[in-house]
Amino acid sequence: MYKGGKIIASLIIFAALFTIPFFYNMGKVNAGPDVALDTPAIQQLSDKQCVESPEFMRANHMKLLNQWREEAVRNGQTVYINSQGKEYPISLQDTCLKCHANGSASKVALSNPASSTTGVSNPAINESPEFCASCHDYSAVKPKCWSCHFEPKEAAK
């Protein structure tokens, strides 16, 4: 091979550089989020059940939210009937946030855009550990819901 030594050496250096993050993090603990399902807000509820089963919600909540959005905004269908036949109003504020609320944020606070990196107020990442942030931080998926919708206000009554 013409200049084979140089090519192979460069390839080894490239491979080493490319895999540095992998070796750097090898063996370090990277535990997934530990989402508590018995927060004070949830404890106070008489019906401790989400609109669908936890397994379904974990896998499909983003699809469900998209469907809710389409149905409520575009088709005027503002009530969701779940697989058990129970009805829920399609509302982040009145349905989701009753359980997935952050107890520490006592009132609706509008974030300052100056402190956000995207130029758009997006408090979802720092707020509400029981809601989006714990899992979404872990998987580095940033939802933009709270740039318009109100973030979890207080523990539901």
Partner 1 sequence: MSINRRQFLRRAGMVTALGIGSSFVITGFRKKDAAASGYTKAAKDMPAKRWAMVVDMSKFKSEADMEKVIEACHKLHNVPKFPNTKDEIKWIWKDDYHHTFAGGHNEYLDEHVMHSPFMVTCNHCENPPCVRACPTEATFQRPDGIVAMDFHRCIGCRFCMAACPFGARSFNFKDPRPFIEEVSTEYPTRTPGVVEKCNFCYERLADGLMPACVEKSNGGLIFGDLDDPNSEVRKIVSTKLTIRRKPELGTQPSVYYLVGGGEHA
Q: Are 67 and 88 in contact (CB under 8 A)?
A: no
95 is an interface residue for partner 1 by CB under 8 A: no
Contact range with partner 1 by CB under 8 A, out of 1-9, 37-45, 115-123, 128-136: 115-123
62 is an interface residue for partner 1 by CB under 8 A: no
153 is an interface residue for partner 1 by CB under 8 A: yes
Q: Among 35, 61, 71, 126, which residue interacts with partner 1 (rule: CB under 8 A)?
A: 71
Q: How far is CA 91 from CA 78, 119, 150, in A?
A: 8, 26, 11
- Strand (E) positions, 61-146? 79-81, 87-89
**3-state SS class at 89:** strand
65 is an interface residue for partner 1 by CB under 8 A: no
Using CA atoms, how far apart are residues 100 and 61, in angstroms rounded to an integer?
13
Contact range with partner 1 by CB under 8 A, out of 12-20, 22-30, 114-122, 130-138: 114-122
Tokens of 62: 């983003």
| Nearest to partner 1 of 98, 149 (CB atom) | 149
Q: Are 124 and 113 in contact (CB under 8 A)?
A: no
151 is an interface residue for partner 1 by CB under 8 A: no
Q: Are 151 and 123 in contact (CB under 8 A)?
A: yes
Q: What is the DSSP string of 92-110?
A: TTTTGGGTS--SS--S--P
148 is an interface residue for partner 1 by CB under 8 A: yes
Q: Among 74, 117, 139, 140, which residue interacts with partner 1 (rule: CB under 8 A)?
A: 74
Q: Which spans of this chain sit near partner 1 (rule: CB under 8 A)?
A: 52, 56, 60, 63-64, 69, 71, 73-85, 87, 89-90, 93, 108, 110-113, 119-121, 144, 147-150, 153
